[in-house]
């Protein structure tokens, strides 16, 4: 398994858009993205997203592996 990349919120949202997610709303510094199959993720709008937040808060709930995410970047 590859290491988690260091990414910004813009890079995460761009990668998720490639697999069908779209921005739904933004409240404060959090961007909500939604997939047509009803999966939702909240992405903190930061220059650098912490690795734990990326893995446990975004990728795992969406069912996206680190390998798949790395390829989307």
In a domain, 3, yes or no: no
Task: Count the Cβ atoms, other than its own, within 10 Å of residue 59.
Answer: 19
Cα separation, 6 vs 47, whole angstroms: 10
Look up the CATH number of the domain holding residue 20. Answer: 3.30.920.30
In a domain, 44, yes or no: yes
The pLDDT tens digits for 10-61 are 999 999 999 999 999 999 999 999 999 999 999 999 999 999 999 999 999 9
Residues of the domain holding 65: 9-72
The pTM of the full predicted model, rounded to 2 decimals, is: 0.89
Question: What is 23-46 written as a DSSP string?
Answer: EEEEETTEEEEE-TTS-EEEEE--
The pairs formed by 59-68 with CB atoms below 8 angstroms and a separation of 24 or more are: 62/16, 62/35, 63/39, 64/19, 66/1, 66/2, 66/3, 66/4, 67/1, 67/2
In a domain, 2, yes or no: no
In a domain, 4, yes or no: no
Structural domains in the chain (count): 1
The pLDDT tens digits for 49-63 are 999 999 999 999 999
């Amino acid at each position: 398994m590859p290491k988690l990349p260091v990414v910004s919120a813009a890079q995460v949202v761009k990668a998720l858009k490639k697999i069908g997610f779209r921005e739904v709303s933004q409240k404060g510094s959090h961007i909500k993205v939604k997939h047509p199959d009803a999966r939702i993720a909240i992405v903190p709008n930061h220059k650098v997203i912490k690795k734990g937040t990326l893995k446990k808060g975004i990728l795992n709930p969406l069912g996206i592996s680190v390998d798949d995410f790395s390829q989307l970047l």
